[in-house]
Structure 1
Amino acid sequence: MDRDDTTLRVLSTSDLAGLDISLADVVDTVEQAYRTLAAGKSDNPRKLTVKPEDGHSVSYAMLGRDGVRNVVAIKTSYKHGLHESRDQQHYYTTLTIYDDVTGLPVAMMDCSRIGSLRTPAVSALLARECATPDATAALVIGTGTQGRLALPFLLTTLPNLERLMLSGTHPDGIAAVRAELAHHFPDRKIEVVDDLKSAAREADVIVATAGAHTPAAVEADWLKPGATAILVGHGLAPSTLHRADRVIATSEAQMRVTGTDMADSSGSLPAVDLELPVIISGVYRARTSSKQRIFAYNSGLVVTDIALGHRFAQLALEQGLGTEIPLWK
């Protein structure tokens, strides 16, 4: 069916699952989105959040425009059962993209795979920009969706990493992390660590991706001079933020919305020194000393979802994937 202003192409989870995209392609797409934003060509307003008083669910709505791809998109996210275990939760996220040149809809898609790739790619970019040049040891905390791709993406941006450590408690999750690494880097091995404190003391880069119920909490005193601690989910204690020599965030505004669990006893968060887009653009450097302990907050920006979602839409359209629905007819 020809594209017109009455039909919408819907890309399902299974449609997107079959698309082949390299880790380097994902990183390049996300990095370009940051450069475009830093250049003032894209728009990324603050996300809207709705959460009931008892905290059983959370919803987000994010609108953005990519000024290089010339597309506008809206991302929605809804998670229910936050007090339950991960397998008891309900989570839905979608991305709807419109061509801002033709005015026609591009596609509406499940955003779960996009998020599962975008987030570790951002962590890998943070690691590349914040880590010391001689960084060789990485520690990933958590074996969920984000933990499983964290190491392959880190090796994509920091190929000189030698020691790959993993802190996790779920056997299936650990096996999944091993499988992902073997798929992308079959010659590399993972060291599963039981003593989180000792592992943290030896890591140059720490990526905390654990779920909200994790007992893991790396303290600032555990970090070696020059260490970079990146928070994606949970696994870092607030001290790693409040006692950091430098604080980097993808977005300070979003950190103040979604990072309240890292606030101090007075409910405050420290100021952010730099945001990732200006670092990626080359205007500023994340690190000014090899001994600085850096805390980096990865909250994601919708412009990165838009860029990666548009890339997936292009690949899907080339292969004739998706279902055309006469939504406005």
Structure 2
Amino acid sequence: MTDTSPTRTATPVPGDDQHLRILSTTDLAGIEISLADVVATVEGAYRTLHAGLSDNPRKLTVKPRDGHSVSYAMLGRDGSRDVVAIKTSYKHGLDKGREEQHYYTALTLYDDVTGLPLAMMDCARIGSLRTPAVSALLARECAAPGARSALVVGTGTQGRLALPFLLTTLPDLDRLMVFGTHPEGIGAVREQLRAHFPDRDVEVVTDVRAAASDADVIIATAGAHTPAAIEADRLRPGALSVLVGHGLAPSTLHRADRVIATSEAQMHVTGTDMADSDGKFPAVDAEFPAVLAGVAAGRTSGTERVFAYNSGLVVTDIALGHRFAQLALAQGLGTEVPLWR
């Protein structure tokens, strides 16, 4: 039986009631952290949530009628770290190309023992690590036994580290494929893979439907304008398809033998493009925290086609953000701002 007890994090990040430590993009970029550390931190956050020690309310969403932007606000509490935080996310230019879009996300942490502020940080790197780590954990728990091939759809922020994280949790994968429409993105995927696994390379595919038929694990991370829309009839028996962004057609959800979601409520908020013509979703068979805790199954047979919805839970951002704050403090990084003076 898997040990479901959360690990207590004893090392505090000091603060005071007049200053706020600001961690910039540059500060966070200089912090080294292993993929295994990220995976362990994210997994611990899920276990603490399942144990009932953390709180992860449904996110709030604001979107104008013309759909040119989207904003999210997420409040949560990590019970193993005794940290409360709020994350904000704002993306502008959804009706434009990637190069014309603007995206800002920030995380503010408070110590729930002392009542003092800990840090405010750019959350872009946190998200770029947390999301592929969750996909890798989903693959570890939900892929068919003996899975050997993986396809990543999309080469943006979430696609570039998908394969290194997958190899961290599924080291026996021996065929790695990527589909993308941006040459620089494909180059970045290859660069990231070689940085973490120098002896591995990725196969660039142009026929995404054929590649999907050969994949045991599919991670769909593409943007809204992707031409990829893999249908359920292209999935092999036992395939796991993980939706992060776009690249999977709604049939992969509605015709799945088993559906797993990090949060069913959040899937209904952020996954509306996967709903049927009546705006409805199939029932979720299990939420992922319960799967990690060992009280629900990621799959029940080797031939099930499993669909997994990876929506971000703020408790994972809190845990990873607190880990970065600890590392930043140890290195003397960040700027103390007298915000309340």
- Counterpart of 1:235? 247
**Residue among 261, 274, 297 paired with 1:285:** 297
CA distance in structure 1 between the aligned counterparts of 2:290 and 2:175, rounded to whole angstroms: 30
Please tell me whether residue 312 in structure 1 is matched to residue 324 in structure 2. yes
Residue type at the aligned position of 1:277: P
- Counterpart of 1:302? 314
CA distance in structure 1 between the aligned counterparts of 2:81 and 2:279, rounded to whole angstroms: 40
Please tell me whether residue 194 in structure 1 is matched to residue 206 in structure 2. yes
CA distance in structure 2 between the aligned counterparts of 1:124 and 1:273, rounded to whole angstroms: 19
- Counterpart of 1:117? 129
Once the 2 structures are TM-superposed, how far is the Cα of residue 25 of structure 1 from its aligned partner? 0.2
Please tell me whether residue 171 in structure 1 is matched to residue 188 in structure 2. no
CA distance in structure 1 between the aligned counterparts of 2:285 and 2:264, rounded to whole angstroms: 9
Moved over 6 A (4+): none
- Counterpart of 2:96? 84
Residue type at the aligned position of 1:268: K
Q: What does 1:256-271 correspond to in 2, within 5 Å?
A: 256-271=268-283
CA distance in structure 1 between the aligned counterparts of 2:208 and 2:74, rounded to whole angstroms: 36
- 1:96-135 C-alpha deviation (Å, 9 max, x unpaired): 0000111111100000000000000000001111101110
SS in 2 for 1:199: helix
CA distance in structure 2 between the aligned counterparts of 1:129 and 1:234, rounded to whole angstroms: 22
Once the 2 structures are TM-superposed, how far is the Cα of residue 233 of structure 1 from its aligned partner? 0.4
Residue type at the aligned position of 2:176: L
Q: How many residues align?
A: 328
CA distance in structure 1 between the aligned counterparts of 2:312 and 2:19, rounded to whole angstroms: 30
SS in 2 for 1:109: strand
CA distance in structure 1 between the aligned counterparts of 2:288 and 2:133, rounded to whole angstroms: 13
Point out the more displaced range, 232-241 or 263-272: 263-272
- Counterpart of 1:322? 334
SS in 2 for 1:21: coil
Please tell me whether residue 29 in structure 1 is matched to residue 41 in structure 2. yes
Please tell me whether residue 52 in structure 1 is matched to residue 64 in structure 2. yes
CA distance in structure 1 between the aligned counterparts of 2:184 and 2:16, rounded to whole angstroms: 45
Residue type at the aligned position of 2:71: S
TM-score for both structures, normalised by structure 1: 0.99
SS in 1 for 2:159: helix
Q: Relative to structure 1, is the Cα distance of residues 266 and 3 closer, same or farther in structure 2, using a 3 angstrom cutoff?
A: closer
CA RMSD of aligned residues (A): 0.7
Once the 2 structures are TM-superposed, how far is the Cα of residue 3 of structure 1 from its aligned partner? 3.5
Q: What does 1:69-218 correspond to in 2, within 5 Å?
A: 69-218=81-230
Point out the more displaced range, 190-199 or 242-251: 190-199
Report the identity percentage.
Answer: 77
- 1:131-169 C-alpha deviation (Å, 9 max, x unpaired): 011100000001111110000000000001000011112
Once the 2 structures are TM-superposed, how far is the Cα of residue 268 of structure 1 from its aligned partner? 1.0
- Counterpart of 1:225? 237
- Counterpart of 1:17? 29
TM-score for both structures, normalised by structure 2: 0.95
- Counterpart of 1:272? 284
CA distance in structure 1 between the aligned counterparts of 2:186 and 2:103, rounded to whole angstroms: 22
CA distance in structure 1 between the aligned counterparts of 2:151 and 2:302, rounded to whole angstroms: 19
CA distance in structure 1 between the aligned counterparts of 2:74 and 2:185, rounded to whole angstroms: 30
CA distance in structure 2 between the aligned counterparts of 1:3 and 1:209, rounded to whole angstroms: 37
SS in 2 for 1:183: helix
SS in 2 for 1:264: coil
CA distance in structure 1 between the aligned counterparts of 2:107 and 2:182, rounded to whole angstroms: 31
CA distance in structure 2 between the aligned counterparts of 1:137 and 1:192, rounded to whole angstroms: 13
